[in-house]
Amino acid sequence: MINLKNMIDSTQNIVFFGGAGVSTESGIPDFRSVDGLYSHKYKYQPEEMLSVDFFINNTAEFYDFYRDKMIYPLVKPNKAHIALAELEKLGKLKAIITQNIDGLHQMAGSRKVLELHGSVNCNNCVNCKAFYDVKIITANKSIPRCTCGGVIKPDVVLYGEGLDSEVLNEAIRFIRAADMLIVGGTSLNVYPAAGLMNYYKGNKLVLINKSATSFDSNANLIINESIGKVLGDII
Ligand code: ZN
């Protein structure tokens, strides 16, 4: 019987690809789940409020929602984040590719983290490009502004914006070169997840997700359990 620990023990080039499920176990709601962000507190749907047009045209309302629903200053990495950081220290894990924007992998000690959708910890002035960390957003009750007067924009991919091509290309390079690909906390239904999966050509594809995914038929090992429990148990 195939066993995750045995697979990891015999592999030196692992890439991890993670989705919202990795963060939900730290208490961050899944943006797309019905029980996640969808609340009747706001006049608009989350997808609209998180669009680049809304950011430009309704900046104050964008920030009300963004501060309320997208930033979680008190959350901590869970067992999944910690185990992945440990696998990197052991030289086995080469990169984490994540769809999450919370920075929890870095907080757990991971170094090579490719954030496909950006990070709440990176913010830039739209005029002079000056960098600001998340405190400029959380400490501000209205629209955060640069010392130059420009509006500060989170470096997260909003609806209507494309992914950063450098990050995407690097993710593709890591997946192509991977001996083992562990995918966790994602149903793999959402772009670009499904597309990225096609670059993996190895025979150690592990899917860890509480429910079925679109790639179950391609997987060498499927574990329908909590990602924190599964990864926590192998380290
Ligand atoms: Zn500026």
Write the pLDDT tens digit of every residue in 33-57: 655 555 567 888 888 999 999 999 9
Give residue 55 CA to ligand 1 midpoint distance, Å: 17
Give residue 147 CA to ligand 1 midpoint distance, Å: 6
Q: What is the mean pLDDT of residues 54-76?
A: 94
- 117 as an active site residue: the answer is yes
Confidence of residue 226 (pLDDT cuts 50, 70, 90): very high
pLDDT reported for residue 85:
98
Tokens for 183, please give them. Answer: 């995918």
- Tell me if 115 sits within 8 A of 35, measured CB to CB: no
- Chain-centre distance of CA 123, in angstroms? 17
Give residue 97 CA to ligand 1 midpoint distance, Å: 30
Give residue 180 CA to ligand 1 midpoint distance, Å: 43
pLDDT reported for residue 42:
80
Q: Which pTM does this prediction carry?
A: 0.94
Give residue 136 CA to ligand 1 midpoint distance, Å: 13
DSSP per-residue codes, 165-185: HHHHHHHHHHHHH-SEEEEES
Give residue 135 CA to ligand 1 midpoint distance, Å: 16
Q: Choosing from 40, 81, 105, 117, which is the catalytic residue?
A: 117
| Helix or strand (DSSP H, E) at 52 | helix 52-57
Residue with tokens 């002035």: 125
**DSSP strands (E only) in 87-165:** 93-98, 113-115, 118-125, 131-132, 152-156
**Total residue count of the chain as it appears in this document:** 235
- CA distances 162 to 57, 126, 165, 180, 186, Å, are 19, 17, 8, 28, 20
- pLDDT at position 229 over 70: yes
CA angle 119, 123, 127 (to 5 degrees): 145
- Domains, the chain, ordered by start: 1-28+77-117+162-235 (3.40.50.1220)
Q: Determine the Cα–Cα distance for residues 83 and 106; give it in Å rounded to an integer.
A: 12
Give residue 36 CA to ligand 1 midpoint distance, Å: 34
- Tell me if 186 sits within 8 A of 192, measured CB to CB: no
Confidence of residue 189 (pLDDT cuts 50, 70, 90): confident
- Tell me if 118 sits within 8 A of 71, measured CB to CB: no
Model pLDDT for residues 112-167, shown as the tens digit of each residue: 999 999 999 999 999 999 999 999 999 988 999 999 999 999 999 999 999 999 99
Confidence of residue 29 (pLDDT cuts 50, 70, 90): confident
Give residue 150 CA to ligand 1 midpoint distance, Å: 5
Give residue 130 CA to ligand 1 midpoint distance, Å: 5
